[in-house]
Amino acid sequence: MTTLVVSPHLDDAVLSYGGHLVQLAGAGEHVVVYTVFAGSPTPPYSPIAATFHDQWAIVGDPVAARRDENDAALAALGIDPPYLCGPFLDSIYRRNAQGGWVIDDENPMDHHADDEDDLVAAVAADIERVIGEFSTDRVVTCAAVGNHVDHRRTRDSVLAAVARTGSPLSLWDDFPYLAWPGVNVMPPLPAGVRVAEPVAVAVSDTDWARKLRAVGAYASQIAMLESGGQTMSEQYADDCANRRGQYGVDGFYETVREVLAVTDSAPLRSAAR
């Protein structure tokens, strides 16, 4: 069984789906992780990118350093290389059709991008290539909870790819946006796409500890992730506790939605987990 995990950025799959990754690797599944927005940018950088670089304390190619962190995080979860990286630029490095920066402040939900149809088509074509190259049995990606522009582009690109391949598809709920009141909803899906309600999958304490160790590998991102004064462990514990009544799951868990159809007439094969 081969599972293709499509992550928007070099941390999202581990942040939102790391417990599942430990479980899949432990069950002997072949897990391929593809990060979409992992291309190396060239100066000049947008003002917000320069600010982030200072916070990350990265000198030189900022994305190369983050790719190294991602390699370490995935290895800590038991995922074997290669770890695939797309050539596409993070929104903090992209310009829109008018030549302005897509992101000009710290809020990735408040962006100045057009629909970026060409970008979505290019990402979808690359994902379709990877599905074929690795004979993928199922695909998992983000639900774009929180409406981060890169998460939404990733989700919609994957939907376009699996519409052509018929691959089973599931969507994880995006952390940390999932825990932010007021933004913790999934943005509208493309026409003809239907998804099931989220299902909570319990993660053992041992596997959760491995996830937290992997999250810690993203050293450049930790200061931003913990800027609210809570450690990552505390944030996860609070989120699971706050939503426990909704799902009735004790301990730690991650929530995933199965995609039922990408058109009204073309249901996907079952995407277990």
Q: What is the token pair recorded at 218?
A: 């993203």
pLDDT, mean of residues 16-22: 98
| CB atoms near residue 31 (< 10 Å) | 21
pLDDT tens digits, one per residue of 167-191: 999 999 999 999 998 889 999 999 9
Residue 183 lies in a domain: yes
Which CATH number covers residue 123? 3.40.50.10320
Q: Are strands 252-261 and 199-203 parallel, antiparallel or unpaired?
A: antiparallel
- Whole-angstrom Cα distance, residue 172 to residue 183? 16
pLDDT, mean of residues 239-251: 91
Half-sphere exposure of 79 (CA within 13 A, CB side): 31
Burial of 18 (0-12, 13-18, 19+ CB in 10 A): buried
Residue 273 lies in a domain: no
Residue 269 lies in a domain: no
Contact partners, residue 176, CB within 8 Å, separation at least 6: 15, 225, 235, 239
pLDDT tens digits, one per residue of 106-134: 666 667 777 799 999 999 999 999 999 99
Q: What angle do CA 170, 171, 174 make, to 5 degrees?
A: 155
Residue 268 lies in a domain: no
Residue 264 has pLDDT above 70, yes or no: no
Residue 160 lies in a domain: yes
Number of separate domains in the chain: 1
137-170 in b/e form (b: 16+ CB < 10 A) is bbbbbbbbbbbbbbbbbbbbbbbbbbbeeebbbb
Instruction: Give the residue among 31, 34, 45, 32 at the shortest CA–CA distance from 10.
Output: 34
Half-sphere exposure of 262 (CA within 13 A, CB side): 21
Residue 266 has pLDDT above 60, yes or no: no
- Whole-angstrom Cα distance, residue 120 to residue 116? 6
The least confident of 45-49, 55-59, 104-108, 187-191 is 104-108
Burial of 28 (0-12, 13-18, 19+ CB in 10 A): exposed
Gyration radius of the chain's alpha carbons = 18
Q: What angle do CA 244, 13, 257 make, to 5 degrees?
A: 50
Range of the domain at 185: 2-261
Q: What is the token pair recorded at 267?
A: 């249901």
Residue 267 lies in a domain: no
- In whole angstroms, how far apart are CA 190 and each of 9, 158, 160, 196, 263? 22, 11, 9, 15, 9
Q: What confidence score (pLDDT) does residue 273 get? A: 44
Residue 266 lies in a domain: no
Burial of 256 (0-12, 13-18, 19+ CB in 10 A): buried
- Percent of the chain beyond pLDDT 70? 95
Residue 6 lies in a domain: yes
